[in-house]
Each structure stands twice: as C-alpha cells, then as structure tokens.
Structure 1
C-alpha cells in the first residue's frame, strides 16, 4: 500500500466521455480526491406554500456513486450507486442505513418531532412517529423497490407500494406512468386493494436518483388525479437535477394546489458534453464485443424452498402493510438460519436478489451477518444494459448475461454486474415462484452463470404473494 487515495469509480467515464459530476453549490468535480467515506448528509429542498425552494448538498456525490456507460441510445451514462445494493455488491447494513437515513430526511420535512439520530454505522434505527399520522410510501421499480421499503420502515405504521414492470393477470391497474430515458419505460401500480391511495396523509415517493424530475412529476400528476392530497415528498439518494429543472416542483405544486418537497443524501449535477451520445455509442461499439466463454468449473447448487406463512407478502408489488413487517422479519430470520447452516465457516457470501425482488434478500443478508462469521454482501440482477470495463476508476467491472426467467419481456436479456471475479465463495440467489422457471435453471440461464463464478450456489425460492392470497385484514389500517 502506498497510502494514495483510491481511484473514484467515475474517473474512467469522466476522462473518455467528458461526463462530470459536480456537487451542489460548487463547480468542482464530485470525483476530485474521492474517498471511501459514506457519511450521510441532509440534502434537503424545503418548500413553502405550493412548491419547493432551492436546496444544498449534504454529502459529496462521489462518496455515494460512480459512473458507467449505458447501452442506451437515449442516455450515455449511468450513475452507479455504491449504497443501493443493485449493481455493486455492498454490505447489507450500509444498504439499510442509506434507506433509513433517507427516511429521516423525509421525516424532518414532514415535521417529525425529535426524530431519532442515526449514521452509517447504526445497525438498528428507531421508527419515527409523525404528529399527523404516517405517510404512504411509493417506490419506483426496479432500482428503488428495496430503498422505498426501507424508507417506509423509517415511519411507524407506514404502508408501502412499489411500481412494477411485471403485469399480473386479474389485478386492476391503479395507475401507470412512463420513465422516458429508461431501458424499460412503463411503470404499473397494482395494489391488491384498489382503495390503497384513498386515505389521508402525505405521500413519499422514493427513487435512487432524481435526474430531471420528469418521471416524478408525471407520477404525482397521475396519483393526484386519483386521490388529491396536500403534501408530497420526493426522496432520493442523489438529487442531480440541473438548475433549469429545479423549479419544476414549485410549478407543479402551484398548478395542483399542493406542496412538493425534495430530500436527498447528496445533491449535485451531471454535466454532459454536446456529443456525449455519439462518443458513448463509439465506446460501446469498440469495447462491447462478444467474448468467448472462459473454461470454468461448475460449482454445486442446492435449492431451498422457503417456508412462508399464508397471506404474507414478500414485498410491495401489491402493497405491504406496516402490520406485515414483524412476520416478515421473523420468517426471513428462519430462512437465514437454514441458509447459514449450509455455509462453510468463513465463506465470503453474496445474497443476490432478482430484479424488483430486493427487500426480502436484503433482510436475509442482514440476518446472515448475525449468524455467519464470514463477509456478507448484497446486490441484485437487473434489466439495465451497461458496458462493463474491467479497469480501475470504472463502476461496472464485470457482467454476466442471461435470459429472462419470470415470463416478463422474455426477449430482453438480464444482467448481473460486479459478481464475476469478485471472489465470492457462496452465492445465495433469492427468486420468487414466478421466476422459478425452467429458464432459470437451463444451460445459459442465471443459475448456470452463477455456478461458473463461485464455489457454490444456494437458490432460495419464496412465494410471491398474489392479491387473492393476501389476508384482507392484514392490508388495511
């Protein structure tokens, strides 16, 4: 070790594409002299009346994210979170702390009295009680499904719903909205209770990143048309809106007669050269070429069908009531005990979620840290197509590609990033029963890909609750 600072994981993209991340209130690049500190800030944009004012950064953007190149003609770059548990394997307590700290930011603007303290080293957070009652919390698929869950955990008695890209026959559609720059644009809202929105209190919308705010604006308009309310809070790990986009929510609040606040853990701006799409396309064409599969051994694989109480949802696709949390924690703890019993002593373990299924895997990973003496990390598969570059200063070093296995958009490949070559002894893959298909297990599928990059794979299959199976008294207050 020479004592030099680690290379920021956005350096490669900055040097080749001219993409710059700057922190709010400064023209300096966010990645300059980037360190590894993941302390939380209080980046808030607090509005009065019908809209939001201007805000300032809390943490440095580069503390929380790096950069990669998208395989997407609409957007050249991807801001890669180091604390989300999606593209980059991270410690489960860090992932959970990020969501709870963001929840504390939301609670502060909603008037929480004496909110509990917390930082990145906090393991157990206290819940916040708001004087006017709990908010409803909605997370965006696919990256923020877990983040939204954890933000909801921050509030006593808060119910949660996340958007989804998986259509479910027989479930009425409450609403839909589009994410224009995304590789998969359509979001569906499919609560088991069609009246899920029909209750008082503020609504907290959670995403990993605010770029322009257009998707959030469209979502608020759609939800407000179904059930108007007085307060909305947008909570994101990173607020990267430009100065031109920042007045958007003040104007929206005035137009709808409501108030919209924005909170984040870090705030800044992405600055792009005019030719960034052309330069990105050239990079992808030159570097993203098929490579022959390396000769690998095939690690053993075991399957664990998780015992699961009837009526208990595994996540928020169809709504997750605050009353479900104790049972889910207990159930996941029991599954973790079964998984831990099969782990070699000291094994380095990755718990891998699958697309929108991220919250239960995170809880499983947290439980494993208490039961298993080895290192535990957590991440997830994704639909997001990204160029891998195995170079220092780049956020996506390796990629595994495999076909869809849940019957949704079957012609679109799926990916696992930063797992190949990471040296995991055991990978614990968590899928739901809809994703437990022959495509998951066949040659060329996800299980086969994982068997080539570790010493053993455990596949945990949990039920994905269908609305007809949910105890109706559990989903209401």
Structure 2
C-alpha cells in the first residue's frame, strides 16, 4: 500500500532510502480508521522515514480533549468515529491526507471524513489506501461528484478490487457462547469520582500503575478449565495524562501509551516504539513454554502487540479482539470457524468477539492491554479463552516511570 502511494507521487522527489523505507517530498498526514485499520494505518505509516505524521480515529471518549473531528461510518455496527489532536495546528495546513482502511464497501466513510475535514481545514489532495475495494459504479461516481463539489483530488488505491453479490435468507443467530462473569457489568459508581481522582493522583508516579485497579488479583481467580494466569508488566518511560469515559459513565484514570497514534505520532516516536517492541518482545520470548503461541491485541490496540510478537521468536501468531460480529460456520475452508463473545473489557456494555481460537489450537496466549483495568472487567475474556483449553495466559500491561503533567506539543 505504501508503494502504491509512492507510485502516485512519482516525479515529486519522493525516494527510497537504502533501508527500504520511503521519504516523502513534503509533509503528509496518515489517518487509520478504527477499529481494524488502527494497526494497518500505522503499518503503512511505518514505511515512511520523514515528512509523515500518524493518527487513528477512535471510538473512545477522551475527557481532557475536545473532538477535533467526529463523523459516522454509515453501514457500520459501531458508526461513531472521533479524532483527537493535542494541537489543532497539526491539521491547520494544506498537507495531503492519506486515509487508510481495511476495505471500502461503499466508500461513504472516507467521503464523510473528507467532507468533515473540508469544513474546518480545507486542502487539495487526499489519498485513500485500502486492502479491498468493493465499491459499485454508483459509489465511484459519488466520489467523482464530491471531488467536483469540494474542488479536491481524491485518489483511491487498493490491493484487490471487485464486486460483491449476496443471495439467500439472512438467519438471525447468536455468535458463539457469551461469557459474562456475574460481576462483569459492575456498577460504574464502585468508585465515585472523588475517590477515583484521589486514587489516580496517588498512583500517578508509581512504577506499577496496574496496582491502581488491583489487576494482579486476577492471578488468584480460578478458571473452570484450569488455565494459569499471570500479569506481566513492562515499563514505558512516560505515559500520557488523559482519561477516558465509557458508556456506563465510568472513568479509567490510567494513562495512555504514547505509541498508538490515538493522539498523533511522529516518525521519531515510531522509531522509539520499535525499540520498545524489540525490548519487550525479547523479554516475553523468555516466558514462552509452548510451540503454539498467540499474541492477542484488544480492540483498537493492535499494532504494538503485533510488533512485540515479531520479536518473540518463531511460531507466534497474532490477532485481536473486535467489535465486529461475524457469524462462524465450522466447515472446511470457511474463513471464520469459531467465535467467542464477551463484554468488552474497556466498556462492558459493548459486545466483543474473538475468532478462530478452537479447542486446543494454542498452548499459551499473551493478552495485551493498552491500559490497566479492574480485574472484574477482564474476567469474562479470560473465561472465554479458558474454555478452549489454553494452558497459560499472560496478561501484558504497561507501567510508567512517570506521567507527563501536560502533553508536550513540540
């Protein structure tokens, strides 16, 4: 996908470095769409050594920042997207924007986003990079019409394009067994706002922020299938001082990682993330006991876990939990054969799924959390994984040497 963009920029002094990375002729803003393309977008962004900034949209509600943009993905089960930037001037320019998604069905999501950007920060050039392009001729004509209306250029590049047809009757069925601990939908007023603020303030400089929610207590929670659970902490130099609120009104006061793109990333920060992934992956490799290992990201948090997995040795597979409901059929050559369903650890009112983890497929799972969470919120996912005969689950979570008092806008 990065090569397709470079081909489009041919003749504009873009070039390839001896390391195989690309250098753009001017600054470009890369934006990955949540949920799947948070990782895909960052993977594309990682191919560029200079003149690139990366963001991804999110469905999380950040308390300390206003939405810079919000728009809807019309056909999606989770339509609302938000985009946050600690400094609006990141977008107050005419730099080309590169939108990245896993597939275009109608292309309306990209067009809605471009229309939203043009209302605040007009520019001339947009690129849309996607793995799959299923747009109809009418959808393609709608893009051309928007180009004329807005006076912009929108170029779309895909690795595969075609058309989709469907037939038969839609059957309404549950997707997998829904695992829900008795207290998973825990009352969001377990800590009132004052108590939570005091806890966050008290723990903000602690090297072990997972203690904030007693996450390590999950190691003492017996699972029916006998899966052993261990919490593994890795240190990050500084966390970002932002909190989030879920749909129940509960506030997670744990800091955010600086290397996900949720608040914007530079190529320098991407290099720092790569070094962190190498360090953590090398450490986790020492914990491996089996030959069938899965590194499992959670929701929008995929890219860093996948990079860490790349440093953990051979025979390591990667995937992530998701909001996307897909009906499984256990038959040969079908793409989704098994499904597990459970409440999201980040927001227990939102169903989440994980696919193709059949009984006995893995011996151990490294489960990556972006932020510490109360043990009650992670138990349903652990129960779901335990049902597949996993021997060991390692919950991998960041801790911080310090937390920034304010975000560095430089």
- TM-score w.r.t. the length of structure 2 is 0.78
Name which of 153, 163, 166 aligns with 1:272: 166
C-alpha distance in structure 2 between counterparts of 1:236 and 1:261, whole Å:
11
Cα distance between partner residues in 2 of 1:296 and 1:332 = 33
Q: Find the counterpart in structure 2 of residue 320 from structure 1.
A: 265
Paired residue for 2:398, among 441, 459, 462?
462
Is 1:135 the counterpart of 2:34? The answer is no
Aligned match of 1:342: 287
Cα distance, 1:386 vs structure 2:
1.8
1:171–1:467 CA contact under 8 A, matched in 2:
no
2-side partners of 1:191 and 1:463: how far apart? 23
1:447 matched to 2:346? no
Q: Aligned match of 1:245 in 139, 142, 145?
A: 139
How many angstroms apart in 2 are the aligned matches of 1:254 and 1:450? 51
For the residues of structure 1 that align with 2:49 and 2:118, how far apart are their CA atoms?
24
CA distance in 2, matches of 1:292, 1:188: 29
Give the match for residue 145 of structure 1.
38
Q: Relative to 1, partners in 2 of residues 1:288 and 1:219: Cα closer, same or farther, differing over 3 Å?
A: closer
Q: 1:359 deviation in Å?
A: 0.9
Deviations 1:191-247 (A, max 9, x none): 222222123321000000011111110100101222111110000000110122112
CA distance in structure 1 between the aligned counterparts of 2:271 and 2:404, rounded to whole angstroms: 20
Where does the alignment leave 5 or more consecutive residues of structure 2 unmatched?
181-222, 240-256
Q: Is residue 168 from structure 1 mapped to residue 62 from structure 2 by the alignment?
A: yes
Distance in 2 between the 1:438 and 1:268 partners?
45
Please give the alpha-carbon distance, in whole angstroms, between the structure 2 residues aligned to 1:413 and 1:396: 18
Structure 2 vs 1, CA of residues 264 and 171 (structure 1 numbering), >3 Å: closer, same or farther?
same
SS at match of 1:304: strand
Q: Which residue of 1 aligns with 2:111?
A: 217
Q: Distance in 2 between matches of 1:213 and 1:329?
A: 32
**Are 1:329 and 2:282 an aligned pair?**
no
Deviation, 1:363, is: 0.8
- What is the Cα deviation at residue 262 of structure 1? 0.3
Q: 2:361 aligns with which of 377, 398, 423?
A: 423
Identify if the C-alpha distance between structure 1 residues 137 and 389 changes in structure 2 by more than 3 Å, giving closer, same or farther: same
Shift of 1:336: 1.1
What is the CA-CA distance between 1:322 and the residue it aligns to? Answer: 1.5
Q: Do structure 1's residue 379 and structure 2's residue 379 form an aligned pair?
A: no
Give the distance between the partners of 1:400 and 1:351, measured in 2 at CA.
16
Counterpart in the other structure of 1:16: none
Q: What is residue 366 of structure 1 aligned with on the other side?
A: 310
Matched, 1:389 2:329: yes
Residues 179 and 342 of structure 2 are in contact (CA less than 8 Å); yes or no, is this contact kept in structure 1? no
* Ranges in structure 1 where 5+ consecutive residues have no aligned partner: 1-101, 118-123
Does structure 2 conserve the Cα–Cα contact (< 8 Å) formed by 1:298 and 1:452? no
Q: Deviations over 1:426-452 (max 9, x none)?
A: 111110225x2223343xx11232233
Kept in 2, the 8 Å contact 1:238–1:266? The answer is yes
1:261 to 155, 176, 179: 155
Q: Conserved in 1, the CA contact under 8 Å of 2:16 and 2:23?
A: no
1:292 Cα offset (Å): 11
The answer to whether the 8 A contact 2:344-2:351 is kept is: yes
**Secondary structure of 1:269's match?**
coil
The 8 Å contact of residues 351 and 427 in structure 1, kept in 2 or not, is answered as: yes
Among 230, 238, 246, the alignment partner of 1:302 is 230
* Counterpart for residue 108 of structure 1: 7
- Contact 2:322 2:354 (8 Å CA) reproduced: yes
SS of 2:27's equivalent in the other structure is: coil
How far does residue 248 in structure 1 lie from its aligned partner after superposition?
2.1
Cα–Cα, structure 1 residues 463 and 107, in superposed 2: closer, same or farther, change >3 Å?
farther
Work out whether residues 398 and 421 of structure 1, in 8 Å CA contact, stay in contact via their aligned partners in 2. Answer: no
Aligned mates of 2:71, 2:332 — CA distance in 1: 37
TM-score (norm 1): 0.68
- CA drift at 1:296: 6.1
CA RMSD of aligned residues (A): 2.6
